[in-house]
Amino acid sequence: MHQLCQRRTLDRTLLADCLVTVPEDWLGNAQAWLVEDVLCQDRQKAEDITHKEVQDLCKKMWEQMDQEFQARLLALEHEQVKALQEQNAILA
C-alpha cells in the first residue's frame, strides 16, 4: 500500500513537472517564433523598399529611353519630310 502511495505521488510529481516544463517550452518556442517573425517582417520591409527603389529606377530609365527614342523618331521624321520636299522640288 505504501508503495502504491509513493508511486501515485511520483506520478503526480512527474505530471506536475510536465505541466510546468511543457508550457515553459511552448513559451520559449513562441518567443523564438515571434523574434523570427519580426526579423522576417523587417527583412520583407527592407526588400519591399529595395524592390520599390529598383522599380522607380527602372521607370526613370524607361522614361529616359522613351524620350530619347521619341527625339530620334522626330529627327527621322524631320529628315523624311526634308527628303520629300527635295524630291518634290526636283520633280517640279
Higher-scoring residue by pLDDT: 35, 62: 62
Q: How far apart are CA 27 and CA 17, in angstroms?
A: 15
Q: Is 60 exposed, middle or buried, given 0-12, 13-18 or 19+ CB atoms closer than 10 A?
A: exposed
In the prediction, which pLDDT does 15 show? 57
Cell, residue 17: 513537472
Q: How far apart are CA 52 and CA 46, in angstroms?
A: 10
Is the pTM here over 0.85, yes or no? no
pLDDT band at 85 (very low <50, low <70, confident <90, very high): very high
In the prediction, which pLDDT does 17 show? 64
Cell, residue 23: 508550457
Q: How far apart are CA 48 and CA 16, in angstroms?
A: 47
